[in-house]
Chains A and B, each alone.
Chain A
Amino acid sequence: MKTLDFFVGHYAYWFVVALLVLGLYGMMVKRNLVKKLIGMTIFQVAVIIFYIASAVKREATIPIADKAIGTADASLYINPLQHTLMLTAIVVGVATAGVAYALLIIIFRRYNTLHEPELMEAMKREEEEDGDE
């Protein structure tokens, strides 16, 4: 039963682990650059969920001061710090994705493909042409 508790009790973290693996798989194995980028986004989101999950407290409410609850007992509110940190991390993630898509647009305009093997081939041809000059 103890093992089962361990698995069920940490379900949010197992979910995070699954997302991390999925993201890494996308970045490492997929050959299409857009799919790599999707993997990257999943990877970042997994960490965001990890932080948010670690902020949760049992029987606690959102961190907005409520007169009915009072502010004396901090354990009645979930920890707001992780949420604010992750707001920043989301902004960082959006900026990274923006730069990445901009790069993909340039790559596609130059090589007319985002499929990695084709791209490598085109670049190799180009390099050989440069060498022959």
Chain B
Amino acid sequence: MSDAPALPVLILLGTAILAPLVSLLLRRSARALAVAAVAAAASISAVNLVRVLGRGTLHTHMAGWPPPIGIEYVLDPLAAFVAAVINSIVLIVLVHARLSVDAEIPDRSRHVSFYALVLLMLCGFNGIVATGDFFNLYVWLEISSLSLYGLVAAGDRRSPVAAFRYLIMGTIGATFYLLGLGFLFVMTGSLNMADLAAILPHVWREPPVVVGLVLMVAGMSIKMALFPLHGWLPDAYTTAPSSASALIAPTGTKVGAYVLIRLLFFVFGAEFAARTLPVTSVIGWLAAAAVIYGSVMAMAQKELKRMLAFSSVAQVGYIGIGIGLASPLGLIGAVLHVLNHACMKALLFLVAGSFRLKLGHSRIDRFNAAVRRQMPWTTAAFAAGALSMVGVPPLAGFFSKWYLALGAVRASNWIFLAVILVSSLLNAVYFFRVLERLYMGKTGGPGKQEGPAGEAVEDGPRDGEAAASMLVPVLLLAAALLVIGLLNAVVVKQVIMKMIPQGMM
């Protein structure tokens, strides 16, 4: 027993309520408070991860009620890992966010609510990851989703429409989840995950259980933007403020994937989810379609953020393929890709934010070598992220694809293998298109009709490299990609191997 699993949630929730009040007295304190709270949450979850890996799963019983009556917070290796990843990424993005938010949300009075929403969103994610109770998970899911709608709507003129679509789709997803949970509850009388895992084997051939599982999986697939339920994602990511996209893209869909992994492999068990009922293979096939579809659509985009959004659809597909394989290697690939993709997407969206601030736009057809000369470090970091997305060793992105490919070979699933290989090529096509412009595009080249050196000059200050507060997070993430890539064997052996549930081995 320990309070550690609930601590990040409490800190973030408390600060989210406190920040607007404090900023009534001390103006501009909201951001400092937010960074401090997220830093606290990130360090606690890092300590938690070490403790969980060393001494095993941590439990907190809310208000002292033992489960299954009371709500339990559980940190096992998977939960602790996802929490640590999400909190650290959000911390890095928040450091970067200051200038970008100042520029993209001109109305200063709205900054307080922006940071409060970020805290609520992260609080919801931490709750989802840490809770051991499915209904509690629903509540956290809605708390984080409502903050996400708000964050998206803070963007450009078109963003409220994207946010409204996201809200409708997100609510359908959450309501499906709740309906499915109702079916499980009717059959088992329990909402506690561990308790359900014990009861379900006795009833899992009953139709309500099957219907419940399918509804919950469908609901979470909407939340994680699994093809063909990804419709809300591209518009939402494109129109949101750059900082918000950089916050949402690495974290939001990952949490959906986490819930799917938890539900399928830890509560129902791989035996049931993969063999008795082909839920995981349906997810796998949809994910394979997502990978191809997302990559092809990304190739057609002219705007960097929109391209990255479609690339997110594809990358979620990789995680889905890992779930679809329903094997230890697949799970390793999926979980490692949660970490890698979080770093890569945060990095790429942050660079898009830096470009927007410095150049006044993030249109690919307007990039040229002048951008690279002006911001050499930012561009280099972007190149590192792009190469990692393509899967060039020793960068991190290569290794998650490697485990997924190994898993596909082990399962003799040649189509998944082909999808992974082909998509890497497609990734190369759409990222090299950008890199080519940044590194080789002539200043007066194809963008000539827009005037020499690009008309963008007048949109924003054109005074060299991005500020330190924007550059350091970006370089940190680029370094992280290299370190994770080089140390991937350590990460897999010391952390991810400990997550694999017993039924799967």
Contact = CB atoms under 8 A, between A and B. Distances in A.
B168 A126 contact: no
B82 to A, nearest CB: 23
Contacts of B455: 133
Contact of A103 (B139, B142, B163, B186): B163
A103 B157 CA distance: 12
B148 to A, nearest CB: 10
A54 B182 contact: yes
B293 interface: no
A95 B164 contact: no
A100 B167 contact: yes
B325 to A, nearest CB: 32
A54 B186 contact: yes
B161 A119 contact: yes
Nearest to B167: A100
Contacts of A33: 164
A27 B455 CA distance: 42
B157 A110 contact: yes
A47 B164 contact: no
Given A47-B182, A106-B160, A36 B168 contact: yes
Interface in B155-206: 157-158, 160-161, 163-164, 167-168, 171-172, 174-175, 178-179, 182, 185-186
A43 B175 contact: yes
A51 B153 contact: no
Nearest to B163: A103
Interface string B340-383: 00000000000000000000000000000000000000000000
Contact of A96 (B138, B142, B153): B142
Interface stretch (A4-12, A64-72, A84-92): A84-92
A107 B161 contact: yes
A123 interface: yes
Contacts of A24: 172
A110 B164 CA distance: 14
A126 B186 contact: no
Given A47-B179, A54-B186, A106-B153, A99 B158 contact: no
Contacts of A36: 168
Contacts of B138: 89, 92
A133 B172 CA distance: 38
A115 to B, nearest CB: 12
B203 to A, nearest CB: 15
Which of A37, A85, A133 has the most CB atoms of chain B within a 10 A radius of its CB?
A85
A89 B185 CA distance: 15
B146 interface: yes
Nearest to A41: B171
A126 B157 CA distance: 9
Contacts of A82: 185
B318 interface: no
B157 A107 contact: no
Nearest to A108: B160
A7 to B, nearest CB: 17
A78 interface: no
B150 interface: yes
Nearest to B177: A47
A107 B157 CA distance: 9
B114 interface: no
A95 B142 contact: yes
Which of B135, B146, B161, B186 has the most CB atoms of chain A within a 10 A radius of its CB?
B161
A99 B150 contact: yes
Interface string A35-58: 011001001100100110010000
A47 B216 CA distance: 13
Closest 5 CB pairs of A and B: A106-B160, A92-B142, A103-B164, A107-B160, A103-B160
26 contacts: A20-B179, A27-B168, A33-B164, A36-B168, A40-B168, A47-B178, A47-B182, A51-B185, A54-B182, A54-B185, A54-B186, A85-B135, A88-B139, A89-B138, A89-B178, A92-B142, A95-B142, A96-B146, A99-B167, A103-B163, A103-B167, A104-B164, A106-B160, A126-B157, A126-B158, A133-B455
